Amino acid sequence: MTERNGDGARRKAAIACAAALLALLVAAGRPEKLPGRARLLRHYATRPLAVRRLGSSSSAFDRRFFFFLESARLKLPPGTRGVAVFAPPSEQARNVVAYQFAPLPALVAPPTVPGGWVAAIYGPVRPAGWRHVADVSDGALMTPP
């Protein structure tokens, strides 16, 4: 059986990545995590990207926040230049926000919203005078006056 163009290179890259991950987990002194990680990878491998992200450890700190971000990402108006996310600031929130909206720039709780950006407001409080763009899971998209 012959391989299609690129299949051999992809397979070799996947094997190299798996070996590197295994080496990193063992080096970090966490080999007991390997069976669980392997089950997780096998379970989510064929799922859509949003479902894989939901199942990852990066969204484990607040799954509802992840749903909010994914809902906001899907409803961003065309031409949006960036996203200002108004949610309780934390290192985890900053990381997942940057990852979720990439390649668009995204900031958590900035002092001002730059022109052309949309504010993703997490929770029920809405800033007075701001224009409503769309409702999203556990929040809304808005633009400042």
Q: Are residues 90 and 34 in the same domain?
A: no
**pLDDT by residue, tens only, the chain of 145 residues:** 455 656 778 888 888 888 887 777 676 666 676 677 667 666 666 666 666 565 565 555 667 888 899 899 999 999 999 999 998 878 888 888 998 899 999 999 999 999 999 999 999 999 999 999 999 999 999 999 9
Quote the tokens at residue 73: 């990402």
Number of domains in the chain: 2
List the beta bridge partners of residue 119. Answer: 84, 142
Q: Answer whether residue 101 is part of any domain.
A: yes
Residue 110 lies in a domain: yes
* Burial of 25: CB neighbours in 10 Å, binned 0-12, 13-18, 19+: middle
Write the DSSP assignment of 30-91 as a string of letters: -GGGHHHHHHHHHHHTTS-HHHHHHTSGGGTT-HHHHHHHHHHHHHPPTT--EEEEES---H
Q: Look at residue 108 and tell me if it is in a domain.
A: yes
124: in domain? yes
Do residues 28 and 81 share a domain?
Answer: no
User: Do 53 and 100 form a contact (C-beta atoms < 8 A)?
Assistant: yes
Alpha-carbon distance 113 to 80, whole Å? 12
Asked if 128 and 70 sit in the same domain, the reply is: yes
Has residue 55 been placed in a domain?
A: no
Domain hosting 30: range is 7-46
